[in-house]
Structure formats: structure tokens, C-alpha cells
């Protein structure tokens, strides 16, 4: 009898958890629909614009000192994070044409901030690398970005930071779908 009674308690705990999970799932779905309203999406996009502006302002003086702009910075950032990218991969990640990349890379090469080397395995490939000066400048620019984001992250808890990153990853995945949305 005690074994049967214990089983009933276990079943009640299991059923209670299932109901709680179902209630949380329903609540999450309802909450998610609130975020899909036009006003909420406009607020989110305005927040992204504000963040982008803050990050851009943080890097402006470093870029201006070298006669560079945001396009140069985006290329340098990607090379700082993923050294040795091929020009085709830079174009894909940045969503720009070969012509636009070629112009910006030419300017960065002229300032001795990047260089292209022949690939050892495939001589037809010419990956792009930051030079020592390019690495130094990219690190300086990244420190400015890091400062802005660190100050913002310290104002919220880890769940908020994780949620923000999940939204960014999801938006990136949506943008990579063949037909966008």
C-alpha cells in the first residue's frame, strides 16, 4: 500500500510540473505576442539604432585619426575576429559587392592596415589579414566597443544579456534565409 501511495504522490508531482510548464509555455506565447506588436517592434528597432550610434560614436575618433569610415571598420572587425578570410567571405558576411569591398580593401592596404597573401594550399586564393598596425588599430576600436557594451551589460542581469544575444542570433538567421522573411 505504501508503494502505491508513493506512486500517486510521484504522479501528482509529475502532473503538477506538466501543468506548470504548460502554463509557462502559454504565458510565454502570450508575452511573445506582446513583443510582436508594431509599437514594440518600433521601440526595439529604435533601440538598435541608438546602440549602433553609440558604438559608432565610440569608434569615430580612432577611425577619423586614420582617415577611415564605418565600412573600413567593419572589415577590420571581421578580420580581427576571423583572420585570413577570403574576399568572397567578407562580401558575404558584410552583405556588400566585390566592388565595394575592393575599394575599401585598397584603401586599407594603402594605409598598411591589411594585406593579402597567397594561400599555401591553393595559390588562387588570396585571404586577407590585418597587419601589425591593423591589429593595433582594430584592438583600439574594439576596446571602445567593449567599453560601451560592458557599461550596458552591467546595468542588466545575465538573463537579459543572454536574451539580447539570442535575439541577435535569431535575427541573423532570419536574414540568411533565401527569401529573408
pLDDT (tens, 9 = 90+) of the chain, 181 residues, equals 444 444 343 444 344 444 444 444 555 555 666 667 888 889 999 999 999 999 999 999 999 999 999 999 999 999 999 989 999 999 999 999 999 999 999 999 999 999 999 888 888 889 999 999 999 999 999 999 999 999 999 999 999 999 999 999 998 888 777 665 5
Please report the pLDDT score of residue 179 as a whole number: 63
The secondary element (H helix, E strand) that includes residue 115 is: strand 114-116
Please report the pLDDT score of residue 173 as a whole number: 87
What SS3 state is found at 56?
helix
Q: If you search the block for the grid coordinates 539570442, which residue do you land on?
A: 166
What does the alpha-carbon distance between residue 46 and residue 53 come to, in Å, rounded to a whole number?
10
Residue 129, φ and ψ in degrees, nearest 5: -130, 150
Please report the pLDDT score of residue 180 as a whole number: 52
Indicate yes or no: pTM above 0.85.
no
Please report the pLDDT score of residue 8 as a whole number: 41
Best CA proximity match to 74, nearest among 45, 96, 57: 96
Amino acid at each position: 500500500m505504501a508503494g502505491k501511495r508513493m506512486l500517486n504522490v510521484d504522479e501528482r508531482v509529475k502532473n503538477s510540473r506538466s501543468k506548470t510548464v504548460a502554463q509557462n509555455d502559454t504565458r510565454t506565447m502570450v508575452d511573445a505576442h506582446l513583443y510582436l506588436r508594431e509599437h514594440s517592434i518600433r521601440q526595439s528597432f529604435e533601440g538598435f539604432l541608438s546602440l549602433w550610434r553609440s558604438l559608432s560614436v565610440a569608434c569615430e575618433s580612432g577611425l577619423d585619426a586614420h582617415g577611415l569610415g564605418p565600412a573600413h571598420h567593419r572589415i577590420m572587425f571581421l578580420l580581427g575576429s576571423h583572420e585570413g578570410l577570403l574576399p568572397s567571405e567578407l562580401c558575404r558576411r558584410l552583405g556588400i559587392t566585390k566592388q565595394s569591398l575592393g575599394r575599401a580593401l585598397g584603401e586599407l592596404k594603402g594605409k598598411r592596415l591589411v594585406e593579402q597573401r597567397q594561400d599555401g594550399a591553393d595559390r588562387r586564393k588570396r585571404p586577407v589579414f590585418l597587419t601589425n598596425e591593423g591589429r593595433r588599430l582594430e584592438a583600439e576600436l574594439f576596446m571602445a566597443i567593449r567599453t560601451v557594451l560592458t557599461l550596458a551589460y552591467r546595468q542588466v542581469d545575465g538573463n537579459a544579456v543572454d536574451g539580447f544575444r539570442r535575439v541577435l542570433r535569431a535575427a541573423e538567421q532570419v536574414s540568411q534565409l533565401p527569401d529573408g522573411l
